[in-house]
């Protein structure tokens, strides 16, 4: 599902990863982190795809909100588990969204 974001500017955190063969518990933790982040002040939404290469984009009101989420104790523990067990590699990118636009089909050809 595409996140319903406000008018720019806002921030996007793009988290891209490749998993090791040791994935037990990963999906449950990823879902838990998304649920927790959505309750954090300043979180605007998520978009995520996991199919070989995992890409999760979270949207935030401010850099301060991103820093607060990064420092969340449970999130720090999940990050450590990721480095110790689940991730072969990952990359995090933080971007300022200055413009967005889209298209939505409103007929029966969905």
83-105 pLDDT per residue, tens: 999 999 999 999 999 999 999 88
SS3 96: strand
Helix (H, G, I), strand (E, B) or coil at 30: helix
Whether residue 53 lies inside any domain: the answer is yes
Judge whether 67 lies within some domain. Answer: yes
Any domain includes 103: no
Burial 79-108 (b: 16+ CB within 10 A, else e): beebeeebbeeeeeeeeebeeeeeeeeeee
With beta carbons less than 8 A apart as the criterion, state whether 65 and 41 touch.
Answer: yes
Residue 62 is assigned to a structural domain of this protein: yes
Q: Which among 28, 24, 17 has a CA at the least distance from the CA of 87?
A: 17
> Could you tell me the pTM of the whole model?
0.90
User: Phi and psi (nearest 5°) for 63?
Assistant: -65, -30
Residue 110 lies in a domain: no
Q: Determine, yes or no, domain membership for 29.
A: yes
DSSP 39: T
Predicted confidence at residue 110, as pLDDT, reads 62
Asked whether the beta carbons of 11 and 59 are under 8 A apart, the reply is yes
* Residue 44 belongs to domain with CATH number: 3.30.70.100
Any domain includes 106: no
Q: How many structural domains comprise the chain?
A: 1
Range of the domain at 58: 10-97
Within the chain, which residues score under 50 in pLDDT? none
- The DSSP code for 41 is T
83 part of a folded domain:
yes
Q: What is the pLDDT of residue 106?
A: 85
Q: State the pLDDT at residue 33.
A: 95
Which residues lie across from 11 on neighbouring strands? 60, 96
């Amino acid at each position: 599902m595409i996140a319903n974001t406000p008018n720019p500017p806002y921030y996007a955190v793009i988290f891209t990863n490749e998993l090791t063969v040791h994935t037990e518990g990963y999906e449950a933790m990823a879902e838990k982190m998304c649920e927790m982040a959505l309750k954090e002040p300043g979180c605007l939404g998520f978009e995520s795809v996991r199919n070989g290469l995992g890409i999760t984009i979270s949207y935030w009101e401010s850099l301060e909100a991103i820093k607060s989420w990064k420092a969340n104790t449970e999130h720090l523990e999940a990050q450590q588990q990721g480095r110790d067990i689940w991730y072969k590699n990952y990359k995090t990118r933080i971007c300022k969204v200055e413009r967005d636009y889209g298209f939505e089909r409103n007929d029966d050809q969905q």
